[in-house]
Homo-oligomer: A and B are copies of this chain.
């Protein structure tokens, strides 16, 4: 196999691991919220256990990045792509941690929350998943436009988090919801909002990377980009 061919193959392998990691993480977020909605502690525990898989995928990708850098000595534009893979994998690992946080909140709830269907949590979960999927698709398809949609969705999820926090505080004050339950619900809402932030990080990396490809011919001194990623 030629060096070039081998490089392409290893890079494909990295991307495949990243896509796999993305789907595991998305699934974990979904299941954590499902555990909340269905008051299912066993499912919450399953989400916590599944985070091991996310962590081992991150290590696999880290090692893959080191290998490809060491053996292939790629040029600047490929380097940026490989560093982007590593950064995205780091963000995915953090999203996985938020799924764990949500699952832990589910286990901490000693009573079933009194409002159905749990305020803004289901729409926030849907938006967070869509943001994550668009950010990753933007990376795979090298599509900055798709990545840009993520930035707009982030405002929406921030707004839902604010609204929900206010409503829960009012309900705790009026005695409709207990303090402990209210705090866990606010914590879950904030975790989903943070998933949105991390999907936004990924989208910014995608925009940064795809723009770098466009502008790199104007580069000097091996530094193809301006200072800010967006």
Binds B, one of A1-9, A11-19, A65-73, A110-118: A65-73
Picked from B59, B87, B172, the residue with its CB within 8 Å of the CB of A179 is B172
Binds B, one of A37-45, A120-128, A134-142, A222-230: A222-230
Report Cα–Cα, A79/B69, bound state, in Å.
8
Picked from B59, B70, B180, B229, the residue with its CB within 8 Å of the CB of A76 is B70
Q: A66-B76, A179-B179 given. 16 additional CB < 8 A pairs?
A: A62-B83, A63-B225, A63-B227, A65-B83, A66-B80, A67-B221, A67-B223, A69-B79, A70-B75, A70-B222, A73-B73, A87-B90, A169-B180, A173-B179, A183-B183, A183-B186
A60 to chain B, nearest CB (A): 8
> Contact at A70–B79, with CB atoms within 8 Å?
yes
Chain A interface size, as a band, is: 20 to 34
The verdict on A145 contacting chain B, using a C-beta distance below 8 Å, is no
The verdict on A161 contacting chain B, using a C-beta distance below 8 Å, is no
Interface residues of A (CB under 8 A from B): 56, 59-60, 62-63, 65-67, 69-71, 73, 75-76, 79-80, 83, 86-87, 90, 169, 172-173, 179-180, 183, 186, 221-223, 225, 227-229
Closest to A91 in B: B90
26 contacts between A and B (CB under 8 A): A59-B227, A59-B228, A60-B227, A62-B83, A63-B225, A63-B227, A66-B80, A66-B83, A66-B222, A66-B223, A67-B221, A67-B223, A69-B69, A69-B79, A70-B75, A70-B76, A70-B222, A83-B86, A86-B86, A87-B90, A90-B90, A169-B179, A169-B183, A172-B179, A183-B183, A183-B186
A222: chain B residues within 8 A (beta carbon)? 66-67, 70-71
Report Cα–Cα, A225/B83, bound state, in Å.
20
Q: How many copies of this chain does one complex carry?
A: 2
A85 to chain B, nearest CB (A): 12
Report Cα–Cα, A221/B68, bound state, in Å.
11
A70: chain B residues within 8 A (beta carbon)? 75-76, 79, 222
Report Cα–Cα, A69/B75, bound state, in Å.
9
A221: chain B residues within 8 A (beta carbon)? 67
